[in-house]
Chains A and B, each alone.
Chain A
Amino acid sequence: SQQGEEDPQALSIQEGENATMNCSYKTSINNLQWYRQNSGRGLVHLILIRSNEREKHSGRLRVTLDTSKKSSSLLITASRAADTASYFCVRGGSQGNLIFGKGTKLSVKP
């Protein structure tokens, strides 16, 4: 079964605005990852944040992790139309597999 719920399920913003997506999970984690998927395409790994980290940056992306609240957020600053995609938070399963949330569909309008 899937664990990890993103919200919102869909987000529509204007180019230049910031986009914030949140993720909650139910069990303890070693790390949490965010992936991006363009429509009908494969997945692209964005950021991995370990359980002992609180915040991580990569370019215009900022990920936070609050293990006490079992939640994470992905912030995309100064969004671009090319950021339009689905974003998934993913936690590692006990066998090395990945467990995906339902994803947030981000639409950035030019």
Chain B
Amino acid sequence: GAVVSQHPSRVICKSGTSVKIECRSLDFQATTMFWYRQFPKKSLMLMATSNEGSKATYEQGVEKDKFLINHASLTLSTLTVTSAHPEDSSFYICSAGEDRGRSGSYNEQFFGPGTRLTVL
């Protein structure tokens, strides 16, 4: 199946710093990528939809100025957690689906391995 990579896999930072997480589709193009956040022992929550060439769409309650998303190419989306605080510590996962023209009506998504962020 298609592969989605994330980098870094784990990051520890001090409070107040910014952290950038990359999500790449390795062997397919994705005009849309999704960013999820998972709190310990909880399910995934969609944060935002990343759209290539346009602004991201954020879910209600997600601060767009804090979680900056840039989808600069058809294979790369980045999530930057700005001025991180301990409550931002979480597991961040991205996913991408092949452009609908190839996958038809499927919503099949390919997930990255996730990035564990710890803010001290």
Which positions in A face B, CB cutoff 8 Å?
2, 30-31, 33, 35, 40-45, 48, 88, 92-93, 95-103
CA of A42 to CA of B9, assembled, Å? 10
CB-CB under 8 A for A42 and B109, given A97-B49, A98-B46? no
Other A-B pairs, 16, CB within 8 Å; known A92-B107, A102-B43, A103-B43: A2-B45, A31-B107, A33-B107, A40-B114, A42-B112, A43-B111, A45-B108, A45-B109, A48-B108, A95-B49, A97-B46, A97-B49, A98-B34, A98-B109, A99-B46, A100-B44
- Shortest distance in angstroms between B7's beta carbon and chain A's nearest beta carbon? 13
Nearest CB to that of A94 among chain B residues?
Answer: B107
Contact A40 B49 (CB under 8 A): no
Question: Which of A31, A40, A98, A103 contacts B95, CB < 8 Å?
Answer: A98
Contact B107 A98 (CB under 8 A): yes
When A and B form their complex, which 8 residue pairs have the shortest distance between CB atoms, in order from nearest? A92-B107, A42-B113, A43-B111, A42-B114, A100-B44, A100-B43, A102-B43, A42-B111
B: interface residue count bin = 20 to 34
Which positions in B face A, CB cutoff 8 Å?
1, 6, 32, 34, 42-46, 49, 57, 91, 93, 95, 97, 100, 105-114, 116
Contacts of B1 in A (CB 8 A): 45
Question: Which of B109, B110, B116 contacts A40, CB < 8 Å?
Answer: B116
CA of A41 to CA of B38, assembled, Å? 11
